[in-house]
Chain A
Amino acid sequence: MARMKFYCDAERCIECNGCVTACKNENEVPWGVNRRRVVTIKDGEHGERSLSVACMHCSDAPCATVCPVDCFYTTDDGVVLHDKDICIGCGYCFYACPFGAPQFPEDGAFATRGKMDKCTFCAGGPLPDGSAEEYRKYGANRLAEGKLPLCAEMCATKALLAGDADVVSEIYRKRVILRGASVLDWGVSYQKATLRAPRGLSGKSSLKP
């Protein structure tokens, strides 16, 4: 059984916001809602890094435990989804989520919060796969078509990876070995590289001689 995860490689993300645009376009999300965002730290300074953030599809999702109407469920692929026919738009998932994934369109009393909307890992919702109603409420269901989320598919630098955790881990592991330092040494990973760039990558990597 697959366990779907996102991973954003901060060493590769160039803050192009292609993933944000791809997500908005593919899912036709409501106005004011952004399922994905790119956050840049130390912008314009030495050690600048960017991360693309959306729902992390947690194994033990805090949003699901605080929901007063219990509208969340985890699919067989490990994707955390919610039922908008059950959701009441209370905002508790937004308080509990560490990543700020849940979003709220303007609706309800005083037009402050409507039913929650968040990243679905392009897996639609509880309605029949590929139905018009599913698309209207939850956006695309690419997983049912055998495709991965469009944000990761569109990523120009392949910083944003999506897929089975085993596969994503393996890709990332290879990258770390090639870099010679883990992302834990943020800001110094290239300078501290102990391995030389592989022959095939010379001239293509950002390693300074």
Chain B
Amino acid sequence: MLALLWLTAPLFAAVSHDKPPGLVENPGTDLWREVRRRAPELQALQQAGKRGPVRTQVQGVDTTRLINARGEQWRLYRHRWLIPGSLWLLGGVAALVVLLYLAVALRLPPPRESGRRLLRFETYERTLHWFMAALFLFLGLTGLLLLWGRPLLIPLLGKPAFSAIASASKEGHNLMGPVFLVSLLLFFARFWRRNLYQRGDFAWLARLGGLLGRGPLRVGFFNLGEKVLFWLVVLVGLAISLAGLVLLFPNFGQGRVVMEAAHLVHTLGAVLLLAVVLGHIYMAKAVKGTLEGMTGGYVEYNWAREHHGAWAADTEAAGRVLSVEEVESRRGQRSLVKEGGT
């Protein structure tokens, strides 16, 4: 992370230091310019000695650090890259997804009714998925509010109203963040086995999941796209969570440079994952019959044969294909047709 900050440093070097006309220059300017110039040398000395040649009576984080030049790089990263970049990326992906949905997915037919159903996700798995999804969306929305609020919402709401929302967002984000990590770990424990590489995954990739070529593809419980999504969510989600903990608990004595790097990882990961999840929501809505697996738990037999042929064959061989009546009796009185018909 630090290396990334270092590498991006030249990008920010072109900042103008011209002073506005009519302003008196602070007499300390020369002094602090000199302090800044000598900061790396001082830090090296500090790291070499055990007690360090830099001392202060005031106890606290970074109190012996006279200047933190890295703060400006972090500020420019947030303002030049992160805020406009995330607006363009997430806005672009959202627009693309809506456009694709209206242009293509809306016309796709639902799977042919066979009167038979397969249990795809158990109650625990569905609960876990929606628990994590709700936390993710909440954290994403509250995070974006803090990121975009000043340019987008303050002009509309005014500072006091936005401050109330932002304060609630910050507290909610901080309280729910660690819970998301718990849900992520439980999710990983439940699903990792089904997301390992299987024969046929690369054939699926080569044919872009069946968009190209003809004939059946060998797809197990999850296809490669879903597996990539899983590992992205788990690994990037873990990075976001750990970086978030670094930001959330400043009371372990980590310095500002560490927190700036953690913020970089946290935000880059979050924007990436939000874009990926927008794609995930699109796929769940676009491929008809998919969402039922995560809402009611059961999927149409023909859907399973078409999209997860190997899994459907295994389930059928094990004799676990149910009729609509059996599914209904398992669920009590609720009508499957109503639930599955959306």
Residues on A facing B (Cβ under 8 Å): 3, 5-8, 10, 17, 20, 32, 34, 37-45, 51, 53, 56, 59-60, 62, 65-71, 83, 85-92, 94-100, 103-104, 106, 108-110, 112-113, 165-166, 168-169, 172-173, 182-184, 186
Q: B260's closest neighbor in chain A, by CB?
A: A95
In the complex the two chains form, what is the Cα distance from A90 to B53 in whole Å?
32
Among B27, B55, B62, B74, point to the contact of A165 (Cβ < 8 A): B27
Among B56, B162, B250, point to the contact of A69 (Cβ < 8 A): B162
Contact check, B67 vs A99: say whether CB atoms are below 8 A apart: yes
Among B20, B30, B149, point to the contact of A59 (Cβ < 8 A): B20
Contact check, A56 vs B60: say whether CB atoms are below 8 A apart: no
In the complex the two chains form, what is the Cα distance from A44 to B79 in whole Å?
42
Asked whether A56 and B26 contact (CB < 8 A) given A62-B71, A65-B75, the answer is yes
CB within 8 Å of A: which B147-165 residues: 147, 149-150, 154, 159-160, 162-163
What are the nearest 3 A-B pairs in CB distance? A109-B174, A37-B58, A165-B24
In the complex the two chains form, what is the Cα distance from A186 to B35 in whole Å?
10
Among A59, A88, A92, point to the contact of B167 (Cβ < 8 A): A88
A–B pairs, 8, beta carbons within 8 Å: A32-B60, A40-B55, A59-B26, A62-B71, A70-B154, A96-B74, A100-B256, A109-B175
Among A42, A69, A95, A172, point to the contact of B53 (Cβ < 8 A): A42
Chain B residues with CB under 8 A of A42: 53
Would you give the shortest CB distance from B279 to chain A, in whole angstroms? 27
In the complex the two chains form, what is the Cα distance from A178 to B69 in whole Å?
32
Chain A residues with CB under 8 A of B166: 68-69, 88
Q: B149's closest neighbor in chain A, by CB?
A: A68
Q: B154's closest neighbor in chain A, by CB?
A: A70
Task: Report if B335 contacts A (CB, 8 A).
Answer: no
Chain B residues with CB under 8 A of A62: 71-72, 75
Chain A residues with CB under 8 A of B69: 98
How would you classify the secondary structure of chain B's contact residues: helix, strand, loop or mixed? helix
Asked whether A68 and B146 contact (CB < 8 A) given A53-B66, A59-B23, A88-B170, the answer is yes
Interface size, chain B (Cβ < 8 Å): 60
Q: B60's closest neighbor in chain A, by CB?
A: A34
Asked whether A91 and B163 contact (CB < 8 A) given A38-B58, A62-B71, A98-B67, the answer is no
How would you classify the secondary structure of chain A's contact residues: helix, strand, loop or mixed? loop
Asked whether A172 and B57 contact (CB < 8 A) given A59-B20, A71-B159, A86-B159, the answer is no
Chain B residues with CB under 8 A of A69: 149-150, 154, 159, 162-163, 166-167
Among A5, A67, A96, A173, point to the contact of B150 (Cβ < 8 A): A67
Among B28, B55, B249, point to the contact of A7 (Cβ < 8 A): B28
Interface hub of A5, A69, A186 (most chain B Cβ within 10 A): A69
Contact check, B60 vs A5: say whether CB atoms are below 8 A apart: no
Contact check, A100 vs B163: say whether CB atoms are below 8 A apart: no
Task: Report if B63 contacts A (CB, 8 A).
Answer: yes
Task: Report if B50 contacts A (CB, 8 A).
Answer: no
Contact check, B71 vs A97: say whether CB atoms are below 8 A apart: yes
In the complex the two chains form, what is the Cα distance from A17 to B162 in whole Å?
40
Given contacts A32-B60, A88-B170, 9 further A-B contacts (CB under 8 A): A6-B28, A7-B28, A10-B31, A41-B66, A59-B20, A62-B71, A66-B75, A96-B74, A166-B24
Chain A residues with CB under 8 A of B54: 39-41, 43
Query: What 0/1 pattern do residues 65 to 105 of B give for CB contact below 8 A with A?
Result: 11111011011001100000000000000000000000000
